[in-house]
Every structure is written in structure tokens, then in C-alpha cells.
Amino acid sequence: MKYLLQRIAFYLFTAWAALTINFFIPRLIPGDPVTSLINKYQGQLSTDAIQSLYVLFGLDKNASLWSQYVDYWGQIFHGDLGLSFTFFPTPVSEILRQSLPWTIALVGITTFASFMIGTSLGVLAGWRRGSWLDGLLPVTTFLSSIPYFWLGLLAITLLAGPDSIFPSSGGYEPGLVPSWNSEFIGSAIQHSLLPAMTILISSVSGWILSMRNMMVTVASEDYITVAHAKGLPERRVMVSYAARNALLPNVSGFALALGFIVGGTLLVEIVFSYPGIGYNLFQAVGSKDYPLMQGVFLVITLSVLVANLMADIAYLLLDPRTRKEG
């Protein structure tokens, strides 16, 4: 329990650090993002509106940095992330609320699946070191060196087409209205197949490799030899003795690698024009939409922190030693 509390305290600290970075980035922007917005809406904004925009983007020259910082925290706790430039005057929080479920469904499920598949293959490759499974390693190395987004481009060229079952872009059939009926869900699944496969192929090899290396290390431990000597079935020794112990570093590795993986998967959304957070980031970058960019960064960071916490809880469940101390 103490371990878990320590982790939670650390994540709170990280969240604070991320939010503070988020606070300072727009203040480092040379020039004035609000001016560009005013130019875009020539004459449509009153002076009051302009002043409120300056306050909203934290560019109020009359307030001190500290009071801006306090105001910023107040806004965050109210879920107010400012107004988007691109979709003006839609609030950023509204845009993110629409796109977050898409990203969580796509990235969350594929990352988890890739971890499971990669770990199982790694168990086999490590256990049967020197068998044909080792031939798999160079192939997966090559696949993992391919940028996610380029693999996506390739997948679209090769597999998607006018008469293919794989749509090349979007999250669902253009005519449909998002709802919980079978037609919409079917369409959503169909649209997510290609992006999901892309993410799976490029991310799985890292797990195979790290799990294989852990298995090789664990396989020479004394308790494995003892398990063999007892005459336990091969499968039991592999799964319950070797794999269970080799899994622990891989689970903590999962937590740490998450930040990198999520960054890569966002690009897949861009290539497939998938209606998630990554695509929002792309749109925001294209039109210098700083509030939306910051909102995306904030949401991604917080989601990664939550996922990290879940990985920690999984670690607690897997490793009895961490539970004993509390």
C-alpha cells in the first residue's frame, strides 16, 4: 500500500510539472497569438472580447505572472482549457471530449494487445533460444524501425482502395451519426482495423525483444533448474516459473515506454485522418492553434499518467514482494 501511495504522489508531482510546463510554453511564444486570431475575424470582435481573449490565453499584460499562474490553475480545475482558434469559438475541452474516446479505443486497445502478443511471443522466443523463433528477431527489428506513420501510408497504398474492405481515412462512414447502434459500431470497427494493424505491427517487436532477453536471463536461475529437476511439465516451468518472473521488468517497462508509444501512435491517426487527439494535434499545429495544442498535450500527459498508475497496480498484483511490505 505504501508503494502505491508513493507512486500516486509521484504522479501528482509529474502532473503538476506537466501543467506548469504547459503554463509557460505560450508565454515563450514570440509574437502574439491573439493578434493572428483578431486578424482572422476582422472587425467581428469587440474590444471586450479581445481583452477577454488576452486573459484567456494568459497574455494579459496587466496581471503579474503569479496571479496568471493562480488563474490558470483555477481554469484547469473548472475544465476550462480556453477557446480553439481552428474551431473558433468552440471550447478546447469540448473538442477534446469528442475525440478522446476515439483515441482511447484505438491506442488503448492496440497498445494492450501488442503488449500481450509481444510478451507471449517473447516467452516462446526466449524459452526456445536458438530455434527458428530467433530468426523472427531481425524481421521485427526492421519492422520496429519503420516510422508508424510511414507504415500507415504503405498500408493505405497496398490495402485500401475503392474496392477494398479497408477504408483509407476517417473513423466511421461519413453519412452515419455517432450512436450506439450496430451499424455505427460496425463501421467504426471497420475503419479502425487498418490503423490498429499498423500500430500493432510496429510496436510489437519491442515487447518480443525485451521479454526474450528477460526469459534468457531468468532461464538460467537455480529455481528453474529445480523446477525441471522436480520433473514438472515443460509448459508449467515455462509459464509459471520462468515467464512469471520475467514478466515483472516488462510490466514496469510498459509503464515507462508508454510515453514513447503514445507519441508514435498519434501519428497513425494523422495518416488515417482518424478523429482522435492526434489528428487534433495535427490540425492545431497546422493553424498555430496554441490553446488546442496545449489541451492535447495536457490530455495526453494525464492519460499516460493514469495508464502508468494502472501498470503499477498490475505490478502490485503480479509481485507479492511489493505487497508484503505494506
Side chain identity, residue 205: S
By beta-carbon proximity to another protein, the closer residue of 93 and 169 is: 169
Q: Taking the complex as a whole, how short is the minimal distance between the CB of residue 317 and another protein, in angstroms?
A: 21
By beta-carbon proximity to another protein, the closer residue of 80 and 221 is: 221
By beta-carbon proximity to another protein, the closer residue of 51 and 217 is: 217
By beta-carbon proximity to another protein, the closer residue of 171 and 206 is: 206
Q: Taking the complex as a whole, how short is the minimal distance between the CB of residue 252 and another protein, in angstroms?
A: 11
CA–CA separation, 127 vs 17, rounded Å?
42
Q: Taking the complex as a whole, how short is the minimal distance between the CB of residue 270 and another protein, in angstroms?
A: 6
By beta-carbon proximity to another protein, the closer residue of 71 and 221 is: 221
Q: Taking the complex as a whole, how short is the minimal distance between the CB of residue 167 and another protein, in angstroms?
A: 13
3-class state of residue 91 by DSSP: strand
Whose grid coordinates read 505572472? Answer: 65
Q: Taking the complex as a whole, how short is the minimal distance between the CB of residue 243 and another protein, in angstroms?
A: 13
Contacts of 220 (CB under 8 A, 6+ apart): none
Q: Taking the complex as a whole, how short is the minimal distance between the CB of residue 198 and another protein, in angstroms?
A: 13
By beta-carbon proximity to another protein, the closer residue of 45 and 299 is: 299
Q: Interior CA angle at 210 toward 207 and 211, to 5°?
A: 80
For helices 182-219 and 136-145, the axis angle rounded to 10 degrees is: 130
Q: What are the DSSP calls for 67-89, one per residue? A: HHHHHHHHHHHTT---B-STTTT
Give CA 251 to chain center in angstroms. Answer: 16
State the DSSP code for 249.
H
